[in-house]
Amino acid sequence: MTQTQAAAEPFAARAKRRAERMFGQWGVFFRGFLKHPTMVGSIIPSSRFTIDKMLAPVDWDACKLFVEYGPGVGTFCRPVLDRLRRDGSLIVIDTNELYIAYLQRETRDSRFSAVLGSAADVEAIVRAHGHEHADYVLSGLPFSTLPDGVGPAIAEATWRVLRPGGAFLVYQFTARARDFMAKHFHRIDAGYEFWNVLPCKLFWGWKD
């Protein structure tokens, strides 16, 4: 950027770029939370303990497509890509353009796609990327604060998009998500992770 361009740039835009440089992903994460607070589960990214426990049941050798709802600044993205097979794919979906732009810029992996959209449209998104089904879907979306009807729509669409034997992986501060999951997933394993801010409930809904 030239000096002339910098001078013409609005103050808010310059301040935003300075904040991103200063605070990195934490700054982007917090700005995204301020913009869409009801769509972000926490202002603190998940701990490594939550990540490891949440992903532990995944059969990575059989996983061709992993989908994540509400990736934020990618707390789960690198751990998923590190475990994912070389010919696998990771699609993340978020309604927050700040997070999607950040992930597209920062995540350099041919297996990775970041989509600006709704998790309720997961079937169309998966098909648009050349897949029929997902093997696993991960969600940290705050089901207790989503607009009316959105939570049930996401749970139903997720059940439809998963292959038999696949699973819906959910981490939450409340058990509200389980209520939506139980209408479609008859086998739901549950766990708890204390070493997280805040401690969270973990659910794995299996499509038998």
Could you state, in order of their start, the residue ranges of all structural domains in the chain? 3-36, 39-206
- pLDDT higher at 174 or 132: 132
**Least confident interval from 5-9, 172-176, 197-201:** 5-9
Please say whether the structural domain 39-206 has been given the CATH code 3.40.50.150: yes
Is the pLDDT score of 1 beyond 60? no
- Note every long-range contact of 79-87, with CB atoms under 8 Å and residues 24 or more positions apart, other chains counting: 79/51, 79/52, 79/55, 80/55, 80/138, 81/107, 81/109, 81/111, 81/112, 83/55, 83/58, 84/60, 84/111, 85/60, 85/61, 86/111
Give the global pTM: 0.83
Tokens of 10: 């609005």
The predicted-structure confidence for 110-138, as pLDDT tens digits, reads as follows 999 999 999 999 999 999 999 999 999 99
- pLDDT higher at 208 or 84: 84
Cβ-based neighbours of 83, under 8 Å, separated by 6 or more: 55, 58, 60
